[in-house]
């Protein structure tokens, strides 16, 4: 028999607490799903309920949400799973070797299935690649920042991801099958405004907002483009890992490779996409007269 327990429900767990207090665990095994995102204190509520504990999750993705910066710095943002791996190493870990969610080339960085194999989706230059990197280096599409919030945006990148989204929709992909992700809220505001203007119902969100969700195509705007090669919190590798692994059939990344290569982890993503995917210059999106004509006819 399997029981699902809401540890936040005080009334529903009295019997289990009684057995545990008497020295007898009511269950043989307790499984904590998404334990890498759960506060350690919450996990300890489940520990006395079983003789064995199984922690399921991915400590390389997003950590527990802790609103207090002081509490996070003092260790509250470290999950029980991450702590056990740090303490005991590989001896406590059993990795899954088969996954069925995404294309193999996307999986390798964090069956040949492509967008054009979906019903009613045509084979085009935009739907064909599984990995598609749009490089803005040398194209003068630099970031801007808000002096009051510090949030960054990049109008050039916003235009490119919207153009690619329109191309996928024209090819037959349903709006609900793609999304646009960026780590920066200000960038998402630019993208969302343009999508609303075009009356395109494409989902837009931050990395955190898409944790646990998947789309056939994910369009990722990394935003940062500056001469100092500063990447800011793009260096938080768990967020980039989450963003990349939301895609099933196509991962589309637009970035300034000259800037993001300053970070070792981001450089590995660029290298993987260069090796296994297709690379285009951002200038290709600004010098296509046919596309410009279509935009004028169908704004």
- 1 in a structural domain: no
Q: Which residue has the higher pLDDT, 55 or 5?
A: 55
Residues 35 and 172 in one domain: no
Statement to judge: residues 127 and 222 lie in one domain: yes
pLDDT for the residue numbered 156:
95
Residue 278 lies in a domain: yes
Does 97 reside within a domain? no
pLDDT, one tens digit per residue, over 15-64 is 455 454 556 778 888 888 888 878 888 888 888 888 888 888 777 666 77
**Tell me, what's the pLDDT at 116?**
87
Query: Using an 8 Å Cβ cutoff, are 207 and 242 in contact?
Result: yes
- 68, 92, 116 — which closes off a domain? 92
Residues 7/39, Cβ–Cβ less than 8 Å = no
Looking at the structure, do residues 210 and 142 belong to the same domain, yes or no?
Answer: yes
The answer to whether residue 16 sits within a structural domain is yes
- Residue 5 inside a domain? The answer is no
Is residue 167 domain-shared with residue 269, that is, in the same domain? yes
In the chain, pLDDT over 90 holds for what percent of residues? 43
Residue 266 and residue 273: Cα distance in Å, rounded? 11
Mean pLDDT of the chain: 82
| 146 torsion bin: left (phi>0), alpha (psi -120 to 50), beta (else) | beta
Residues 78 and 130 in one domain: no
How many beta carbons lie within 10 A of that of residue 266, not counting itself? Answer: 21
Q: Do 57 and 123 belong to one domain?
A: no
Do 176 and 217 belong together in one domain? yes
Which of residues 92, 121, 151 is at a domain's end? 92
289 assigned to some structural domain: yes
Neighbours of 73 (CB within 10 A): 10
Q: Range of 202's domain?
A: 104-297
How confident is the model over 162-194, as pLDDT tens digits?
Answer: 999 999 999 999 999 999 999 999 999 999 999
Kindly report the CA angle at 273 between 272 and 274, in degrees rounded to 5?
Answer: 90
Domain identity same for 116 and 67: no
Q: How big is the chain, counted in residues?
A: 299
The number of C-alpha atoms within 13 Å of 17 and in the hemisphere containing its C-beta is 9
pLDDT (tens digit per residue) in 120-145: 999 899 999 999 999 999 999 999 99
* Domain annotation covers residue 231: yes
Residues 109 and 186 both lie in one domain: yes
Q: Is residue 204 part of a domain?
A: yes
Q: Specify whether 113 is located in the same domain as 173.
A: yes
The enclosing domain of 119 has a CATH number of 3.40.50.300
Give Cα 89 distance to the centre of its chain. Answer: 26
Do 45 and 22 have their domain in common?
yes
Quote the number of domains for the chain. 2
76 with 112, same domain: the answer is: no
Asked which of 92, 123, 138 is the last residue of a domain, the reply is: 92
CA proximity to 27, closest of 36, 15, 35: 15
């Amino acid at each position: 028999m399997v029981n699902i327990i809401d540890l936040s429900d005080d009334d529903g767990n009295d019997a289990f607490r009684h057995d545990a207090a008497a020295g007898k665990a009511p269950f043989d095994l307790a499984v904590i799903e998404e334990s890498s995102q759960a506060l350690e204190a919450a996990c300890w509520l489940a520990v006395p309920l079983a003789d064995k504990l199984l922690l399921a999750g991915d400590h390389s993705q997003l950590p527990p949400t802790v609103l207090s910066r002081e509490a996070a710095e003092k260790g509250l943002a470290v999950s029980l799973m991450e702590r056990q791996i740090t303490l005991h190493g590989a001896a406590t870990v059993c990795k899954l070797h088969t996954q069925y969610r995404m294309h193999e080339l996307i999986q390798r960085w964090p069956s040949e299935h492509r967008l054009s194999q979906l019903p009613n989706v045509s084979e085009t230059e935009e739907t064909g690649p599984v990995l598609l990197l749009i490089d803005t280096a040398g194209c003068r599409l630099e970031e801007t920042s808000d002096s009051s919030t510090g949030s960054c945006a990049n109008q050039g990148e916003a235009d490119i991801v919207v153009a690619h989204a329109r191309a996928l929709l024209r090819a037959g992909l349903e709006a609900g099958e793609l999304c646009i992700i960026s780590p920066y809220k200000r960038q998402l505001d630019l993208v969302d405004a343009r999508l609303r203007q075009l009356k395109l119902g494409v989902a837009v969100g931050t990395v955190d907002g898409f944790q646990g969700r998947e789309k056939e195509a994910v369009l990722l705007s990394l935003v940062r483009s500056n001469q100092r090669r500063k990447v800011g919190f793009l260096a938080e590798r768990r967020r980039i890992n989450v963003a990349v692994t939301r895609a099933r059939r196509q991962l589309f990344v637009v970035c300034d490779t000259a800037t993001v290569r300053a970070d070792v982890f981001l450089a590995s993503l660029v290298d993987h996409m260069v090796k296994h995917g297709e690379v285009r210059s951002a200038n290709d999106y600004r010098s296509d007269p046919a596309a410009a004509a279509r935009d004028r006819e169908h704004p």
